[in-house]
Amino acid sequence: MLAVLLFAAAADDAEEPRASLLFYKKLSQTHGHAVNKPFNVTLTVYNKGVGNAYSLIVADDNWKADKFRIIGGGNNFTLDFLNAGDTYEHEFVVKPIRKAWHRVRPAKMFYVDGDAGESTVSHLSNSLPDMRVIEKQDSLEEAAIMAGRVLTLNMIKTKQGWMAFAALALLAICAQLYFIGSAVLHKRRHLRALEDVKKL
Ligand SMILES: *[C@@H]1O[C@H](CO)[C@@H](O)[C@H](O)[C@H]1NC(C)=O
Ligand SMILES: *[C@@H]1O[C@H](CO)[C@@H](O)[C@H](O)[C@H]1NC(C)=O
């Protein structure tokens, strides 16, 4: 009796081997995103179940054209099947085109579980922290601003700040030159007057 039950349970298992998918989304960098600086998105699907998955459709529709361009690979892909124990990795390249805060949403996946599966299973990937895309600065300029920040105890942080500072410094130098210049002229006039007096 027990043997029959065990056999039935095993048969039942064999009849319905289930796929079980892990779906992972990853960015090649979590910060330091800048305009025109591409990064990669990797979507990984792993079937940790005992059954195969079929007709997989994966869409990562998170990179709209108002903020990003997809410049390598595609943000969507399909697979006819993913056997039990198999992993599939898909990578594409995204380039930010403007400064923004961006909510990184999970990617979506649909698949059919098992050969005889009739319904489609839907599945979301992990979610990721929001990303910040800054205006690209060349690294020399960045280093100069950083050095300036240290020198001025963090009071001047931006290029605009430095430009205002430079304008003030220039003004101060001009004023200085003017005073020195007039002092020299004054002295020269004085000497010339002395010489004139001596000649008399
Ligand atoms: C990004 O993807 C490209 C093309 O697939 C590859 O050449 C490059 O090494 C990848 N970069 C990173 C940081 O993974
Ligand atoms: C990717 O898939 C989504 C959802 O199915 C769709 O809206 C989008 O247009 C697709 N994008 C591309 C580039 O095929």
**What pLDDT is recorded for position 193?**
77
Q: Is 59's C-beta closer than 6 angstroms to any atom of ligand 2?
A: yes
Q: Is 181's C-beta closer than 6 angstroms to any atom of ligand 1?
A: no
User: What is the pLDDT averaged over residues 13-33?
Assistant: 86
User: What is the pLDDT averaged over residues 150-172?
Assistant: 76
Domains of the chain, residue spans? 2-136, 138-200
Place of tokens 């079929």: 54
Characterize 106-138 residue by residue with b for buried, 16 or more Cβ atoms within 10 angstroms of its Cβ, and e for exposed. Answer: ebbbebbbbeebeeebebebeebeebebeeeee
Q: What is the chain's mean pLDDT, rounded?
A: 85
Distance (Å) from CA 32 to ligand 2 centroid? 27
How far is Cα 43 from Cα 25, in angstroms, rounded to an integer? 5
**What pLDDT is recorded for position 156?**
66
Fold of 2-136: Immunoglobulin-like (2.60.40)
Q: Of the candidates 54, 48, 52, 56, which has an alpha carbon nearest to the alpha carbon of residue 110?
A: 56
How far is Cα 121 from Cα 112, in angstroms, rounded to an integer? 6
Please indicate whether residue 195 or residue 3 has the higher confidence score (pLDDT).
195
**What pLDDT is recorded for position 3?**
47
Top mutation candidate among 62, 70, 76 for ligand 2, by most atoms within 8 Å of CB: 76
Q: Which ligand 1 atom is nearest residue 40's CA?
A: 1
**What pLDDT is recorded for position 186?**
80
Tell me how crowded residue 56 is: count the other CB atoms within 10 A of its CB. 23
Tens digits of residue pLDDT in 105-157: 999 999 999 877 778 999 999 999 999 999 976 666 777 777 777 777 666 66
User: What is the pLDDT averaged over residues 47-71?
Assistant: 95
Q: Is 40's C-beta closer than 6 angstroms to any atom of ligand 2?
A: no
Does residue 6 have a pLDDT over 60? no
**What pLDDT is recorded for position 77?**
97
Distance (Å) from CA 68 to ligand 2 centroid? 14
Top mutation candidate among 90, 91, 95 for ligand 1, by most atoms within 8 Å of CB: 91
Q: Which ligand 2 atom is nearest residue 70's CA?
A: 13
Q: List, edge to edge, every strand of the sheet that includes 68-72.
A: 21-27, 39-47, 87-96, 68-72
The pLDDT confidence band at residue 8, using thresholds 50, 70 and 90, is very low
pTM for this prediction: 0.65
The residues, any chain, with a CB within 8 Å of residue 31's CB and separated by 6 or more, are 131, 132
Distance (Å) from CA 175 to ligand 1 centroid? 55
- For the CA of 90, the nearest ligand: 1
Please indicate whether residue 52 or residue 142 has the higher confidence score (pLDDT).
52
